[in-house]
């Protein structure tokens, strides 16, 4: 199954996306995935005013506060949507007849290699699990011994640099891609939003939590690490750690 979305600027610039789901989804869940994907892209492009169109009466009604979410999945999608709203100065979600949503409907059906070959300008994204699949990172008391984040936090919070001049210069340069917010370290990413940096004590939990959700697909380490990025997490050895975990999994 899949979903499609078309982003159009006031001056006619268009971006087309085809989402392919590696999981079972209802029509309304697919509509939510398309809406959230479009808003996430718009957020990355720093768009402030946006009108979003959907042919799902339920999704539009929930987004506008006209309906109450009665299913757990709809409540989670609504919560995710509301967390994105603050990124925009103006956000309107409007109902559009299915007949006027034809191109998005066509994109949702793209799947074969032949179809994709004919639509080379279309960006295709494969989702292993729903956007609302969450990793709840545990609240853990971090020991005082240094961890990989310590130099970044010392510099960004207290202005403390390593004594070695070469290491100090390297840290200042690398810190341009990090930010400290409310005591939490984040890393800037080119393809994803700000990534929450995990401590070694959180890494094991996050790896197992995400892996348990997708190992039925016999995934590879690269897919697992990519999924962790999509969930908004980062640590320096995540790719190798993901490979090691998959190698130990009998189902994979």
Q: Would residue 140 count as lying in a domain?
A: no
Residues 118 and 173 in one domain: no
Per-residue confidence at 93, pLDDT binned at 50, 70, 90?
A: very high
**More confident of the two residues 1 and 155:** 155
Q: Would residue 213 count as lying in a domain?
A: yes
Q: Would residue 17 count as lying in a domain?
A: yes
Residues 156 and 231 in one domain: yes
Work out how many domains the chain is built from and give that number: 2
Residue 99 sits in a domain whose CATH number is: 3.30.420.10
CB 30 within 8 A of CB 5: no
Q: Would residue 134 count as lying in a domain?
A: no
The angle, 0 to 180 degrees and rounded to 10, between the axes of the packed helices 221-230 and 200-214 is 110
User: Span 201-229, mean pLDDT?
Assistant: 68
152 has pLDDT over 90: yes
Our separate counts of H helices and E strands in the chain read 10, 9
Residues 123 and 156 in one domain: no
Q: pLDDT tens digits, residue range 187-202? A: 887 666 678 898 887 8
pTM: 0.54
**Structural domain containing residue 95:** 2-127
Backbone angles phi, psi at 240, to 5 degrees: -65, -40
Q: pLDDT tens digits, residue range 110-145? A: 654 455 556 556 777 767 678 877 555 444 444 467
Residues 176 and 116 in one domain: no
Last residue of a domain, one of 62, 94, 127: 127
Residues 21 and 91 in one domain: yes
C-alpha–C-alpha distance, residues 197 and 23, integer Å = 28
- Residues 40-65: b if buried by 16+ CB within 10 A, e if exposed: bebbeeebeebebbbbbebbbebbee
Residues 163 and 213 in one domain: yes
Residues 115 and 188 in one domain: no
Last residue of a domain, one of 95, 127, 159: 127
- Residues 198-223: b if buried by 16+ CB within 10 A, e if exposed: bbeebbeebbebbbebbbeeebebeb
Q: Would residue 180 count as lying in a domain?
A: yes
Residues 7 and 116 in one domain: yes
DSSP codes, 79-107: HHHHHHHTT-SEEEEEE--GGGGHHHHHH
Backbone φ/ψ region at 225: left (φ over 0), alpha (ψ -120 to 50), beta: alpha
User: Span 91-107, mean pLDDT?
Assistant: 80
Residues 194 and 109 in one domain: no
């Amino acid at each position: 199954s899949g979903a499609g979305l078309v982003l159009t600027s006031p001056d006619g610039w268009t971006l087309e996306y085809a989402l392919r789901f590696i999981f079972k989804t209802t029509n309304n869940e697919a509509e939510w995935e398309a809406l959230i994907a479009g808003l996430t892209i718009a957020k990355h492009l720093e768009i402030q005013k946006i009108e979003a169109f959907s042919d799902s009466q339920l999704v539009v009604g929930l987004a506008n506060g006209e309906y109450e979410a009665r299913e757990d999945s709809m409540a989670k999608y609504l919560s995710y949507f509301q967390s994105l709203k603050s990124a925009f100065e103006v956000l309107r979600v409007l109902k559009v007849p299915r007949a006027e949503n034809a191109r998005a409907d066509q994109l949702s059906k793209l799947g074969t290699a032949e179809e994709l070959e004919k639509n080379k300008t279309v960006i295709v994204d494969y989702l292993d699990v729903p956007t609302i699949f969450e990793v709840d990172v545990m609240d853990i008391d971090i020991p005082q011994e240094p961890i990989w984040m310590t130099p970044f936090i010392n510099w960004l919070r207290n202005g403390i640099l390593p004594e070695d001049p070469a290491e100090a210069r390297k840290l200042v340069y690398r810190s341009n891609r990090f930010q400290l917010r409310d005591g939490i370290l984040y890393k800037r990413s080119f393809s994803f939003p700000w990534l929450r940096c995990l401590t070694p004590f959180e890494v094991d939990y996050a790896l197992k939590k995400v892996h348990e959700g997708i190992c039925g697909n016999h995934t590879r380490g690269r897919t697992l690490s990519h999924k962790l990025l999509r969930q908004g997490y980062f640590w320096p050895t995540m790719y190798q750690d993901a490979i090691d975990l998959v190698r130990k999994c009998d189902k994979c």
